[in-house]
Each structure stands twice: as structure tokens, then as C-alpha cells.
Amino acid sequence: MAETASVADTRAGSQSPAPVGFSGVPSFSLKIWPPTQRTRDAVIHRLVETLTTQSVLSKRYGLLSEEEGTSSALAIEEEAFSTASSAAAASSGADDDGIDVLHVYSREISRRVIESAKAILVLLVGIRLAYIEDHMGRA
């Protein structure tokens, strides 16, 4: 056991013993905020897929083109990340593992996807009404 602590000490560059958690195993903390760029890219990819392919959401609100979906996904993720980062800065607790901030991020993405989908519907309805008015005459 002393060997394990000295290996941990060497890696950490410290002379004090590693903190020992439950059952004598060195403890560590895992922070999930902020996400890595790879994780953010995966979120963006999934958002593009959600906005541009057939799904429950698209059946109700319509689809975006690949280009529109990509630009919307980038904006949605960036705005959600910014909001969550602000929440993280406001709640910067020492024991915070980031789970609450991750919830903010997820909620913001969901809310913004629904807002984007509703905007698609409004746009499509507006286009259809304009088409009807142009081709059928105004009532």
C-alpha cells in the first residue's frame, strides 16, 4: 500500500501522502464540466442529425436542410454552452463535480431545439400561406 501512495505522490509531484478514500484506496474526483471539445462536437453532430433527418420532432415541425441544420446546431450548442458556463461561474463550489451545470447545458439544448423546431413550423406555415395567397387570390 505504501508503494501505491508513493507512486501517486511521484505523479502528483508532491511529498505529502495521497488522500485515502473508502477502503484505503487513494481517492480522486471526477469533474464532468466543462465537456471536452470532442464531446461538444458529438453533441453538435447529434443535433444536426435530429434537425435534418426524420424523427418525432421532424414529423411535427418539419426538417431543415443539412446547411441550415448545421448552422442551427452550432448556434444551439454554443448558446447552451455559454449559458451553462455562466451558471458554473456563478456556482463555483469547491465540491462541485459539474453535474448541476451539465443539467443546465442539457436543458438549454433541449429548450433551444424545440424553439428552433417551432420556428421551422412558423416559417413553413408562412410560406404556405404566401403561396396560397399568390395562387388563389386574397379572400
Cα within 13 Å of Cα(84), Cβ side: 24
Fold of 32-136: Serum Albumin; Chain A, Domain 1 (1.10.246)
Assigned C-alpha cell, 106: 442539457
More confidently predicted of 37 and 23:
37
Q: Mapped to the 3 state alphabet, what secondary structure does the chain carry?
A: CHHHHHHHHHHHCCCCCCCECHHHCECCCCCCCCCCHHHHHHHHHHHHHHHHCCCHHHHHHCCCCHHHHHHHHHHHHHHHHHHHHHHHHHCCCCCCCCHHHHHHHHHHHHHHHHHHHHHHHHHHHHHHHHHHHHHHCCC
Phi, psi of 20 (to 5 degrees): -110, 125
More confidently predicted of 64 and 133:
64
pLDDT digits (tens, 9 = 90+) for 86-135: 998 888 665 567 899 999 999 999 999 999 888 887 877 777 777 777 77
Delimit the domains of the chain by residue range.
Answer: 1-30, 32-136
- Peptide bond preceding 26: is omega within 30 degrees of 0, i.e. cis? no
> Is the pTM of the predicted complex or chain greater than 0.75?
no
Cα within 13 Å of Cα(118), Cβ side: 6
